[in-house]
Structure 1
């Protein structure tokens, strides 16, 4: 799987994952267990969304729409 989105937090990662899944793109949210260590780590860059290589272009188009408030 390839990283396609770096979320600000785990909630945003799940929002993007839900958006991708609603377009029938299978994905994985990583970083669940790192949020408990936020007191010791920077509070960013731990929530990521991954998709299969075959779906990168389609996922990126959807994510671009999300980031530009087009969806």
Structure 2
């Protein structure tokens, strides 16, 4: 499995998943169950849409066709050296 898309919110993740599935690519949303665990605190980089390794070459075309490609990834704590997970 490889990360095909990093979503900014749950709706974004499912839009990407459905776009990939409509293109015949099996896709899975990971991190969906973690959203309620932080309460009111925003979590970044938790939602990922993953696909099997052999399907990665078709992912970019499917996401571009759905208007989801080319967007910046959601920020993660690794992106900022001063931020560390609690």
State the TM bucket, normalised to the shorter chain.
0.7 to 0.9
When normalised by structure 2's length, the TM-score is 0.68
Q: Which one has a larger percent helix, Structure 1 or Structure 2?
A: 1
When normalised by structure 1's length, the TM-score is 0.80
Q: Which one has a larger percent strand, Structure 1 or Structure 2?
A: 1
Give the aligned partner of residue 16 of structure 2. 16
How does 1:1-71 map onto structure 2 within 5 Å? Answer: 1-39=1-39, 42-65=42-65, 66-67=68-69
- Structure 2 stretches of 5 or more lacking a match? 71-86
Rg larger in structure? 2
Q: Give, in whole Å, the separation in 2 of the partners of 1:6 and 1:57.
A: 17
> Cα RMSD (Å) of the superposition?
2.1
Moved over 6 A (4+): none
Matched positions, count: 69
Q: Give, in whole Å, the separation in 2 of the partners of 1:58 and 1:10.
A: 23
